[in-house]
Amino acid sequence: MEDFTIKTRLTTKEYAKVMFVGLYKKPAFIFATLLGFYFITTVVLDYLDIIDYYTNTPLFEIVCGIFLLLAPTLIVLIAVRQFASNPSFQNEITYSFSDSGVAIQGLTFKNELLWAHIIKQKELSRFLILYHTNKLGNFIDKTKLTEDQLNFIKSKVRQK
């Protein structure tokens, strides 16, 4: 395929949304949220004397329920804070794709990755994330790609 280039800018709001979507696709977070909701619901129903579930004040259930419900939000807040702390991410980033790899250029940085260095890909919301470490990846806006370009990128990333 012929080389192509796109420019994209990821806002803090989009990043937070993608992080929430990514977290709530994981079964562990879904289970933890349901468990937290269960704890809080039983505490509230017991307090309103609708059910007689607890004999003492259910401190463990209150603390655990609140923590389990707020944990994803805390994780996203920490990630957004890190994202916002790097001004390079707030500017437009240019991605140039070729048969050999992808070149990434921002206002203050330039990086070239061979396709072999991209270890996995993930689609979340309107973004394709190309990971070059287990926890670090580049957000590619799928709306700026044609179907052929998207298929080209996906075909170049070897799946493990």
pLDDT tens digits, residue range 136-154? 888 999 999 999 999 999 9
Interval 87-106 mean pLDDT = 89
Model pLDDT for residues 4-43, shown as the tens digit of each residue: 999 998 899 999 999 999 999 999 999 999 999 999 999 9
- How many structural domains is the chain composed of? 2
Structure tokens at 78: 């920490």
Confidence of residue 74 (pLDDT cuts 50, 70, 90): very high
Q: Are residues 94 and 152 in the same domain?
A: yes
Mean pLDDT on 83-95: 86
pLDDT of residue 58 exceeding 80, the answer is yes
The residue from 85, 117, 143 where one domain ends is: 85
The pLDDT value recorded for residue 125 is 83
β-pair type (93-97, 4-8):
antiparallel
**pLDDT at site 6:** 93
Query: 119 is written with which tokens?
Result: 């270890």
Is there a single domain that holds both residue 20 and residue 67?
yes
For the chain, give the mean pLDDT. 91
Element (H, E) at 138: strand 137-141
What is the domain-level CATH number for residue 129?
A: 2.30.29
Segments forming the whole domain that contains residue 33: 13-85
Does residue 65 share a domain with residue 95? no
- Measured in degrees and rounded to the nearest 5, phi and psi for residue 82 equal -65, -45
Task: Give whole-number Cα distances, 99 to 27, 65, 116, 159, in Å.
Answer: 36, 50, 11, 17
